[in-house]
Amino acid sequence: MELRVLSLYPEQMNIYADRGNILFLRRRCEWRQIGFEWRGAGPGESVDPAEHDLFYIGGGQDRDQRVVAADMVETKRLALAAAVEDGAALLAVCGGYQLLGESYQLGAETLPGLGLADLRTVREEGPRLIGNVAIETELGGEKRLLAGFENHGGRTYLGSGARPLGRVVPGHGHGNNGDDGFEGVWEKNVVGTYLHGPLLPKNAWLADHLIELALERRCGERPRLEPLPDELERAAHASARAAAGV
C-alpha cells in the first residue's frame, strides 16, 4: 500500500505550517509501514488524475492566490475534477479552501475558483476573522471536534447544495463568515476548511480518515489502519481545544 499525495502550489500556497500537515501524513503512513509518495505541482504544471489519491491545497495570502488562481483553473481544474469524481480525496485549507469554490471577490477584482464546491468567497468590509476555533463535525460518521486556528479576511458563503464541514461551537470561533455558524465544506471526499494549525497534527483522526479514503481509491476497499499510540497527538488536540476555550 502506498499513499500518493500531490500538493498544489507548495511554494505559493503554504502559510501557517502547511508543510506540517504533509509531514504528519507521511509519519502516520511510515509508522504503519505504508509507503508514502509526495509531489508538488506548481504554476504551469499539469496533473495526472490517476497518479495521486490525496490532493492538498494549503493556505495563501490574497497576493499568493492572485498568482495561482487562473493557472489552477487553466492547468489543473479538469484533472482535479476527474480525480475527485473517481474517489480521490482533497483537503484544502484557508486560501486553498477559498479557491475550491466559484470565485474569490476582492473589491473590483474576481479571482476564479476551481468550482469543486458550491461556495463563493467575498472580501467584505470588517475585521479579519482571527483566533482559535473549535467546530463540531460528523465527517467520518461520528460526531467529533476539530480544533485549530483561523485567520482570514475573506468571508465564505455556501451555496444551497453545499454541506458545511461542521458548525462552530457557539462563541468559540468565526468559521466561514462569522455569521451563519458554518465552518468549511464537505462534498464527496473533498474537505475545505479555514482551520490551520497545522490542522492534522492537532486532529489526528482527520489525517487517518483522509489516508483511508485515499488508500480506498487505490486498493478498492477501505483499509483498516492500525491504531497508533497517539499520546502526543492527544495532547496536541487537548491543547488546541483549550486554546479555543472548549
Binding site for ligand GLN (CB under 6 A): 15, 59-62, 65, 94-95, 98, 151-154
Q: How far is the CB of 174 from ligand GLN (least distance, A)?
A: 11
- Residue number, 213 or 244, with CB nearest to ligand GLN: 244
Annotation marks residue 196 as catalytic: yes
| Long-range pairs, 21-27, Cβ under 8 A, ≥24 | 21/56, 21/58, 21/91, 21/93, 21/198, 21/199, 21/200, 21/201, 21/207, 22/56, 24/198, 24/200, 24/201, 24/204, 24/207, 25/54, 25/200, 25/207, 25/210, 25/211
Active-site pick, 52, 172, 174, 196? 196
User: By C-beta, is 18 or 53 nearer to ligand GLN?
Assistant: 18
Nearest approach in angstroms of CB 123 to ligand GLN is 7
Shortest distance in whole angstroms from residue 13 CB to ligand GLN: 8
CB 207 within 8 A of CB 200: yes
Q: Are strands 129-137 and 144-152 parallel, antiparallel or unpaired?
A: antiparallel
Q: At which residue does the C-alpha cell 505541482 appear? A: 41
Among 94, 152, 174, 209, the active-site one is 94
By C-beta, is 146 or 213 nearer to ligand GLN? 146
Positions annotated as catalytic residues are 94, 196
